[in-house]
Amino acid sequence: MSFSTMFAGDIEVFLSEVFLGFTILGILVYGVLLSTSLTYKYPLIHKNIYILSCYILLLTGILSLCNPVNYVLIFQKNFICDDLGKISKLVIIGSSILTLIITQSYIKTHKINNYEYFLLILLSVFGLNLLISSNDFLSAYLAIELQALSFYVLASFQRKSIFSAEAGLKYFILGGFSSGLVLYGFSLVYGATGTTNLYILSLLCIDNNFIGYEISSIGLIFIIAGLLFKIGAFPFHMWLPDVYEGAPTSITSYFAIVPKLGVLIFFSRLIFCSFSTYYFFWEKILLFSAIGSIAYSSIVAIKQHNLKRLLAYSSIGHVGYMLLALAVGSADGTQALIFYSFVYILSSIPVWCLLIYCMKGRKSSQTSIITLSALPNTSPVLALAGGLGFFSLAGIPPLVGFYSKVFVFFSAVKSSLYLTVFVILVLNVISTYYYISIIKSIYFEKNINWIFYNSVTKNTSVIMGIILIFLLFFFFDSSLLKLVSEKMVFSLIEF
């Protein structure tokens, strides 16, 4: 029996990933043919590949959206297709398109005229989509490595920059170590249970008294440690500020906005479905990491003046809130996690857009907060958009970032995590300081020298305007986000 005959129905369900995979090969061939031509190398290759990449991602999203299947296990139960995966893929694809659009001017200014840049972006999206649908340790590990290898190369993409080369090398070494932790954890769980399938694990681990409980618990520790590294959570966060600072700003914005959701969705499947009976075991680990992430980012970022490093610490703090929601271990907590992730992506886009358009020459990694002081005079709309984005990340009403944090706190209170909520509330007040300091630099600091910023493109202006409307609208009526997150949680419960 041929592969196409054996998996014909599965291929139809997995059509969006199949399409994305084949178009990546097409982009590779197209880029190789054009890049060898002296006539068409610049600027045509950048424009063509950029437009093609956006259309490919758009068509992939449409195929995923039109998939009528609500729940099915495919490819011999190695992958799962459900509402949780479909909506998460749409968010990742949409945020990737938005990131490409807002970083287009940066790519032109810094003359990143390599088709491999967009190819690696598409490969990372492909890996994240596979990770979201993974229902087996083997498929999950391959997906993690696919997106991770793309990130390593992207971080060091500017070969002539010592900062970029250093960022890529650090990311590669520490990322390889974390992948080893995940793989070792998978092997321990497999040795204890005899399976790598998440669905079968959920049946085996119903009883905590089975023979391999202790060994599988140790394996789970290694898996959680490796996944915490992938999302930059405490105490595995040491790589993140250096990588954010050294990588090209267009890539840093992609790192900050897109990948976290994919890893967190797989994280949710793993502990909420397969290891739900280990709740009192992994709850303590996640709470420790959540409190540590928020505390570390709140304290260290106060004296930080480099804007990219400050946003790196901010990212660590927001991961802490997501882990707090995940540690709740209930449907409310998972819904709060999904809701918070969506809001974080929406709030981050105008912030990184501001940073991209405030870059001066090639010294982007050294951008200080003080360089924002002339922004209201030269680009008031950009200053307003970035300011509202920072306010939403800080959780200040009337922006939806406030509601997302309240949602997380309420889910934690329902699980009787009163002391944890109190500690994080205090830390949240402290973290507000560095967001307010950025707003102070934008609107109230006196600029000594004139600073010129890149003009904002029409496409970016439209995107930022729509996102700001959403940030305000969802605060007063968040029923749409709640409905979507509820549908995703119900899909997870059906597992």
Percent of the chain with pLDDT strictly greater than 90: 20
Under 8 Å between Cβ of 370 and 441? yes
pLDDT at 431: 87
pLDDT at 364: 47
Whether the upstream peptide bond of residue 235 has omega within 30° of 0, thus cis, is yes
Question: Which residues of the chain, if any, have pLDDT below 50?
Answer: 361-364
43-75 per-position pLDDT tens digit: 555 677 888 888 999 999 998 888 877 778 887
Say whether 456 sits in a helix, a strand or coil. Answer: coil
pLDDT at 306: 83
pLDDT at 362: 46
Instruction: Please report the DSSP string for 362-376 in residue order.
Output: T-GGG-BGGGGTTHH
CA distance 292 to 272: 22
CA distance 388 to 439: 9
What burial class does residue 25 get, using C-beta atoms within 10 Å of its C-beta: 0-12 exposed, 13-18 middle, 19+ buried?
Answer: exposed
Angle (CA) 270 347 390, round 5°: 125
Predicted TM-score of the model (pTM): 0.90
CB neighbours of 167 closer than 8 A, spacing ≥ 6? 155, 156, 242, 243, 244, 245, 246, 247
222-268 per-position pLDDT tens digit: 999 999 999 988 888 888 888 888 888 888 888 888 889 999 999 98
Residue 207: CB atoms within 10 A of its CB come to 8
CA distance 41 to 355: 29
Under 8 Å between Cβ of 2 and 111? no
